[in-house]
Amino acid sequence: MPTRATGIVLAGGLARRMGGPSKPGVVVRGRTMVEWPLDALGAVCNRVAVVCKADTPLPALPGGVERWDEPAEPRHPLTGIVHALERADSPVLVCAADMPFVTAETLRAVEAGRGEALACVGRAGGHLQPLLAAYAPGALEVLRGAGEDAPLTGTVRLLSPAVVEVPERDAISIDTPEGVRRAERLLGGGVSSSGSARALRRRTGSG
C-alpha cells in the first residue's frame, strides 16, 4: 500500500566536484542519475517531486513527477526539506538526487520507522543520513529556525528522530566522475559486497 508521504528527491545542490551545473542529469548506466531515486520513490509514494533551485537544469522527468523550485538562498539541504514540507502539506520521504542505489524497500522502512516521531533518519555504517529520511510537518518549526550555516545532522538531531539501520549501499552518494564509473560497475552487478560499497562511499566523499 502506498504511503501517505510525498516522495521528494532533493536536487538543489551544486555539482562542483562533478564538473557540471548539476548532478541530476549525469548519466549513470544509461539513465540520468535522478531517475534511479525517482523510481524507488515512485514505488512507495503516490506523489513524487524533485525539489531544486529555479536555475537547476533537470533532464526530462517521468510522467507525473513534479518540479518544485525552492528559494534561491540559502544553498543548504535544509532549504529543500523545508520547502518540501511547506508545499506537500503532508509528511515527506526524502532522498538525495545523487543516491542511485537507494531502494524502495529501504525507503519503506524509513517511512514506517517514523511512527509518531517528527522524523526518522536512515543510519548507514554508523552515520546518520538526513538526506535519506522521513519528516513530519511538525518538524518545520525546528527546521525553519536553523541558521544558514547550521549543520544538517546537528539540526536534525534536535528533532529527536527515530533511526532505522539501512544498507550502506543505499546511502552511497555520487560526487565525482570517478564515482560515476564505480557506480556503473556496482549497478551492473560486477561489485556487490558491503566492503566494496564502503570503499566506494569513502572514495566518493559521501557519508
Q: Please give the Cα distance from 204 to 207 (Å, whole number).
A: 9
Grid cell digits, residue 52: 531544486
Q: Is 195 domain-assigned?
A: no
With respect to residue 196, please indicate whether it lies within any of the assigned structural domains.
no
**What one-character DSSP code corresponds to residue 59?**
P
Which residues share a beta bridge with 67? Answer: 50
pLDDT at position 80 is: 94
Alpha carbon distances (Å) from 70 to 22, 24, 53, 54: 15, 16, 5, 7
Identify the domain containing residue 118 by its residue range: 6-173
**What is the pTM assigned to this prediction?**
0.85
- Give the chain's domain count: 1
Domain assignment present for 189: no
User: Which one-letter DSSP state was computed for residue 6?
Assistant: E
Tell me whether residue 199 is in a domain: no
Answer whether residue 187 is part of any domain: no
Cα(104)–Cα(5) distance, rounded to whole angstroms?
Answer: 13
Per-residue model confidence as pLDDT tens digits over 74-90: 788 899 999 999 999 89
Q: What is the CATH number of the domain that holds 56?
A: 3.90.550.10
pLDDT tens per residue across all 207 residues of the chain: 456 899 999 997 665 555 555 677 888 888 888 999 999 999 999 999 999 999 998 999 999 999 999 998 878 889 999 999 999 989 999 999 999 999 999 999 999 999 999 999 999 999 999 999 999 999 999 999 988 788 999 999 999 999 999 999 999 988 777 878 887 887 774 333 333 333 334 333 443
Q: Is residue 104 part of a domain?
A: yes
Residue 105, in any domain of the structure: yes
Express each pLDDT in 48-74 by its tens digit.
Answer: 999 999 999 899 999 999 999 999 887
CA–CA gap between residue 16 and residue 35 (Å, rounded): 21
DSSP 119: E
Backbone φ, ψ for residue 94 (5° rounding): -115, 150
Question: For the CA atoms of the chain, what is the radius of gyration?
Answer: 16
